[in-house]
Amino acid sequence: MEIIILGVILIFPLSYILVQYNGLVVLRNHIRESWSDIDTELKRRHDLIPNLVSVVKGYAAHEREVLERVVELRNQSLTLQGPSALGPVEHKIDHALQRIIALAENYPVLKADAHFLSLQKELANTENRIQAARRFYNANVRDYLNKCEMFPSSMVASFFGFRPETYFTADSQVREVPEVNIP
């Protein structure tokens, strides 16, 4: 009889631990999946950049520095992994792409070029998808961090070695309004 009572008493804490552990695993997998979504959209943007640069290069040859900087940042980001390493470089790419689009304003023929307009539209669509994927990723990180930090699930997270994840954040340079000087 005592063994049955002891068994019943132990079932509740063990099932609680099991439920918390599985919840943490689910949230961690949501984070991994949402990071993969960001990675997919960044790859799409990286594939668009060379096309955009080559179209602009034909019209704005003297803007070479801006175009080379975009390609350099793109190549750099292809070698990085994870939000803490990739975030700052991707934000620099955002800034550089904004400068390219702003440069197009100075070239009416480029601005009217069908290929440029198509690329610009694709890039804008991709940027919107990247922003949505970042928000989804950060929401998953928030939920995971809440579960890891809130008592009593924090004890389960600590015991099983669940580590904090990092948000995909904008660095301070991205928050500033970009300056575009066109001669």
* 55, 113 contact by CB (below 8 A): yes
Name which residue leads in pLDDT, 105 or 145: 145
Across 6-32, average pLDDT: 90
Has domain 2-163 been given CATH number 3.30.70.141? no
Closest CA to 24 of 135, 138, 143, 134: 143
* pLDDT (tens digit per residue) in 78-118: 888 878 778 888 888 888 888 877 777 777 777 667 777 88
Q: How far apart are CA 151 and CA 170, in angstroms?
A: 30
Mean pLDDT of the chain: 82
Total-model pTM: 0.71
Asked if pLDDT for residue 161 goes beyond 90, the answer is yes
The domains of the chain are located at 2-163
Q: Is 17 exposed, middle or buried (0-12, 13-18, 19+ CB in 10 A)?
A: middle
